Structure 1
Amino acid sequence: MAIETAAPPAARGTTPGPPARRRPRHRPLWMLTPGGVLLVLVILVPLGVALTVSLLDLDQYTLREWTGAPFIALDNYVEAVTDTPLPHAIWVSVGYSALVTVATLPIGLAAALATQQRFKGRALVRSAFLIPYVLPAFVVGTVWRTILMPSGPANSLLGDGRLWLNGPDSYWTLVVVQLWTSWPLLYLLAASGLQSIAEEVHEAAALDGAGWWAKLRHVVFPHLRGVLALALIIAFLHNLNSFTLPYVLFGVPAPHDVEVLPVLTYVESFQNFRFGLSAAMAVLSLVLVAIPLSVYLRAVRLNQHED
């Protein structure tokens, strides 16, 4: 009678065979369809129309059949750069936006640090800090225009007859009013960043004997670096694209010192009826906005690679 012997176990150290191949997971890409359709309709289609119009000689005479307007290639872009106040408007917009953004950083950060700890009435103080930001820009511009009129409360209080809404002082008026209405954005983002810092981190710093300034420098600021960078980019783009506030505050045509890019584009389109030229200005402003945004996105990507 033959005795069946079991197969000897595999020797130790033997290299196992290749693992079984996993079947590729079928990702439901169809779920991206609603977002893709919305992206096409809201962003890509208007962008394509703007690019097309910027290449045409489209004005009030050719608007009725704009698809048959003369094709002039890049002439609108050349005219916008050489024969219009566009370079000056870009300089004013970028300059005052950068100035306001830098000035809002310490104000917003100080307000966030002041309201971080619990105290009686903190919710009321936080709500009051957000009032300048949540008010409509039309209301803010109207109120400040009333205050800064030659016979308004500002000159009555100072005993001076300065022209805040015209002349050289109009630039600083725009800076102050934009600063007043936009600093709560930095405060809101900085406050959210402070809330994300774990309580154990603060306790560890206290156990190590860290003082107030050392705690801010070595604990708080490193945690807020990414949040504040995003806040600065958003605030700069918000100030750069601000239209309602300068429009209501100074009217059109705006004084030369505060002729910002959005207002200039509006004037060329809806007052001078140069739709092709205004579309070229809008495309150039889009390129201007994309520069700081691309820098930030590249910085975020590099940080992720380092992590």
Structure 2
Amino acid sequence: MQDVVRVRRHPTARRQDTGKPSHWRKNAMAYSLILPSLVFLFAIVFYPLATGLAEGFRYHSRVQPWLTRFNGLDNYVQALHDHDVWLALRTSLIMTVGIVGLSYLLGLVSGLLLNHKFRMRGLYRALILVPWVVPPVVSYISWQWMLNDQSGLIDVLLVKLHLVDSPVLFLSNPRLAMASIIVVGVWSRFPFMMITVLAALSSIPDDLNESAALDGANRWQTFRYITMPLILPVTVVATLLQAIWTFNDFGLPFVLTGGGPANSTTPLILLAYKEAFQRFNIGYGTSLAIISMVLMLLLGAIYLRLQKKQGVYQ
């Protein structure tokens, strides 16, 4: 009877008698294997992100390092009243809409054509992937050489074919420079759109298209009422990813035009770089990068919310 009372008074003794290890001891091996990855992830992602977020609320200039201090929202208030920021934001939007829209249109057409069975289809699929496989910096430098108005391949061919009397200033004229950036961006990004569209098209059963044909639907009706609704979820994800990548693309305008002429091709992310590493305004440049990040988070949330209301993911 006394033994029973002891067990009741000391319930922990019952747990010890079971011999079952604790949660931490049981999963010690799993945690030890995950720990290096967590440390590496913290070192290259979370710590720089936290440092950048803190830097956006400070006045930090390498020209005057002794004046570094916390200044609250002053950097963001300055950005709201900065004409260069609004110009860079407009440039980012033009680049994003132009590149994403045209690359999706070209990828959709390519995917629809390559979805049919014909001779050497695999070879054409592989060749179209070349612009996406080539490293971005390599393709941008190659395009910069081809668009050069002094010895560029495109201007040389245009002059020799007597299509123009003098070299075209592709990268020196503000409008042509923006058009050149959009063309190069579409060239390097549409294969990704083509792959995603082609993957979505390959998942559509052939019975649906055959049934539509038997019911008298033409190709446009089949595409509008069957193909497009079925590939719409993939379209949403692909265009959203491309919009985020294009809005934050630093290499394309930096390598191709350097942001010129007269800042006409300077997107927000490139302006943040110039403020931080050319004008040495570390705090202000970081705040511009944070604004870019917040805009992309809002874009993703709004875009997915609207598509969910339309029943895309139901």
Normalising by structure 2, we get a TM-score of 0.79
One-letter identity of the residue aligned with 2:205? A
- State the match for 1:107 in structure 2: 106
Moved more, 197-206 or 128-137: 197-206
How far the C-alpha of 1:38 sits from its partner, in A, is 6.8
- State the match for 1:55 in structure 2: 57
How far the C-alpha of 1:242 sits from its partner, in A, is 1.0
* Change in CA separation of 1:219 and 1:253 when aligned onto 2, cut-off 3 Å: closer
Counterpart-to-counterpart distance in 2, 1:295 and 1:220:
25
* Change in CA separation of 1:232 and 1:59 when aligned onto 2, cut-off 3 Å: same
One-letter identity of the residue aligned with 1:250? T
- State the match for 1:200 in structure 2: 207
SS of alignment partner, residue 264 of structure 2: helix
- State the match for 1:11 in structure 2: none
- State the match for 1:161 in structure 2: 167
* Equivalent residues in 2 for 1:88-107, closer than 5 Å: 88-107=87-106
Task: Give yes or no for contact 1:101–1:236 (8 Å, CA) kept in 2.
Answer: yes
SS of alignment partner, residue 60 of structure 2: coil
How far the C-alpha of 1:93 sits from its partner, in A, is 0.6
Counterpart-to-counterpart distance in 2, 1:256 and 1:72:
28
How far the C-alpha of 1:44 sits from its partner, in A, is 3.8
SS of alignment partner, residue 294 of structure 1: helix
* Change in CA separation of 1:134 and 1:305 when aligned onto 2, cut-off 3 Å: closer
Return the structure number with greater helix share: 2
Task: Give yes or no for contact 2:259–2:267 (8 Å, CA) kept in 1.
Answer: no
How far the C-alpha of 1:80 sits from its partner, in A, is 2.5
Task: Give yes or no for contact 2:233–2:313 (8 Å, CA) kept in 1.
Answer: no
Aligned partner (choices 281, 284, 290) of residue 277 of structure 1: 284
Counterpart-to-counterpart distance in 1, 2:211 and 2:281:
63
Task: Give yes or no for contact 1:115–1:126 (8 Å, CA) kept in 2.
Answer: yes
- State the match for 1:13 in structure 2: none
Counterpart-to-counterpart distance in 1, 2:180 and 2:117:
36
* Unaligned segments of structure 1, at least 5 residues: 1-25
Give the root-mean-square deviation of aligned CA atoms: 2.8
One-letter identity of the residue aligned with 2:100? T
* Change in CA separation of 1:219 and 1:157 when aligned onto 2, cut-off 3 Å: same
Task: Give yes or no for contact 1:167–1:257 (8 Å, CA) kept in 2.
Answer: no
1:189-246 CA distance string (max 9 Å, x none) = 1111111112332333233333222221221111011111222111211211111121
Task: Give yes or no for contact 2:96–2:247 (8 Å, CA) kept in 1.
Answer: yes
Counterpart-to-counterpart distance in 2, 1:246 and 1:177:
10
Counterpart-to-counterpart distance in 2, 1:292 and 1:36:
29
Counterpart-to-counterpart distance in 2, 1:89 and 1:300:
28
SS of alignment partner, residue 172 of structure 2: coil
* Equivalent residues in 2 for 1:1-307, closer than 5 Å: 42-61=44-63, 69-83=68-82, 85-151=84-150, 152-159=152-159, 160-168=166-174, 169-251=176-258, 255-299=262-306, 301-302=308-309, 307=314
One-letter identity of the residue aligned with 2:105? P
Task: Give yes or no for contact 2:196–2:238 (8 Å, CA) kept in 1.
Answer: yes
How far the C-alpha of 1:267 sits from its partner, in A, is 1.2
Counterpart-to-counterpart distance in 2, 1:280 and 1:257:
21
* Unaligned segments of structure 2, at least 5 residues: 1-22, 160-165
* Change in CA separation of 1:175 and 1:110 when aligned onto 2, cut-off 3 Å: same
Counterpart-to-counterpart distance in 2, 1:305 and 1:84:
39
* Change in CA separation of 1:57 and 1:230 when aligned onto 2, cut-off 3 Å: same
The total of aligned residue pairs comes to 278
Counterpart-to-counterpart distance in 2, 1:267 and 1:306:
41
- State the match for 1:8 in structure 2: none
Moved more, 260-269 or 77-86: 77-86
How far the C-alpha of 1:306 sits from its partner, in A, is 8.1
Normalising by structure 1, we get a TM-score of 0.81
One-letter identity of the residue aligned with 1:57? Y
SS of alignment partner, residue 59 of structure 2: coil
Counterpart-to-counterpart distance in 1, 2:203 and 2:214:
20
